[in-house]
Amino acid sequence: AHIAEDNSDLLQHVKFQSSNFENILTWDSRLEDTSGMVYSIEYKMYGEAEWLAKEGCQRITQKSCDLTAETGNYMEFYYARVIAVSAGGRSATKMTDRFNPIRHTTIKPPEVTCIPKVRSIQMIVHPTPTPIHARDGHRLTLEDIYDLSYCLELHVNDTYQMHLGGKQREYEFFSLTPDTEFLGTITMDAHQLSKQSAPYVCRVKTLPDRTWT
Partner 1 sequence: GQEFRFGPCQVKGVMLRELQEAFWAVKDTVQAQDNITSVRLLQQEVLQNVSDAESCYLIYAMLKFYLNTVFKNYHNRTVEFRIMKSSSSLANNFIVIMSQLQPSQEDEMLSISESAHRRFLLFRGAFRQLDIEAALIKAFGELDILLAWMEKFYQ
Partner 2 sequence: AGALAAPQNLSVHSTNLKHLLRWSPVVVPGGTVSYSVEYQGEYESLYASHIWIPSSRCSPAVGPECDVTDDITANVQYNLRVRATLGSQTSAWSTLEHPFHRNSTILTPPGLDVTKDGFHLVIELEDLGPQFEFLVFYWRRESGAKEQVKTVRRGGIPVHLETMEPGAPYCVKAQTFAKAIGRHSAFSQADCVEVQGEALPLAL
Binding site residues, partner 1, CB under 8 A = 44, 46-49, 75, 77, 79, 95, 97-98, 100, 102-103, 191-194
State how far the Cα of 83 lies from the Cα of 10, in Å rounded to an integer.
Answer: 10
Helix (H/G/I), strand (E/B), else coil: 62: coil
Q: Which is nearer to partner 1, 46 or 174 (CB)?
A: 46
Judged by beta carbon distances under 5 to 8 A according to partner kind, the member of partner 2, partner 1, none in contact with residue 159 is: partner 2
Per-residue CA distances from 154 to 47, 102, 150 (Å): 48, 30, 13
Least separation in angstroms between CB 46 and partner 1: 6
Judged by beta carbon distances under 5 to 8 A according to partner kind, the member of partner 2, partner 1, none in contact with residue 49 is: partner 1
Q: Which is nearer to partner 1, 39 or 146 (CB)?
A: 146
State how far the Cα of 90 lies from the Cα of 104, in Å rounded to an integer.
Answer: 32
Q: Would you mind telling me the total number of residues written for the chain in this entry?
A: 213
Q: Which is nearer to partner 2, 34 or 149 (CB)?
A: 149
Query: Binding to partner 2 (CB under 8 A): which residues in 20-79?
Result: none
State how far the Cα of 68 lies from the Cα of 43, in Å rounded to an integer.
Answer: 11
Residue 162 binds to partner 2 (criterion: CB under 8 A): yes
State how far the Cα of 54 lies from the Cα of 65, in Å rounded to an integer.
Answer: 9
Q: Which is nearer to partner 1, 45 or 60 (CB)?
A: 45
Residues 208, 118 contacting (CB under 8 angstroms)? yes
Backbone angle region of 89, left / alpha / beta, with phi > 0 → left and psi within -120 to 50 → alpha: left
Q: Which is nearer to partner 1, 104 or 116 (CB)?
A: 104
Residue 161 binds to partner 2 (criterion: CB under 8 A): yes
With CB under 8 A as the contact rule, the residue among 174, 181, 193, 201 that binds partner 2 is 174
Buried b (16+ CB within 10 A) or exposed e, 153-180: bbbeeeeeebebeeeeeebebeebeeee
Q: Which is nearer to partner 2, 135 or 163 (CB)?
A: 163
Residue 4 binds to partner 2 (criterion: CB under 8 A): no
Judged by beta carbon distances under 5 to 8 A according to partner kind, the member of partner 2, partner 1, none in contact with residue 179 is: none
With CB under 8 A as the contact rule, the residue among 30, 177, 181, 193 that binds partner 2 is 177
State how far the Cα of 178 lies from the Cα of 79, in Å rounded to an integer.
Answer: 55
Report the interface residues with partner 2, using CB under 8 A.
156, 159-163, 174-175, 177, 211-212
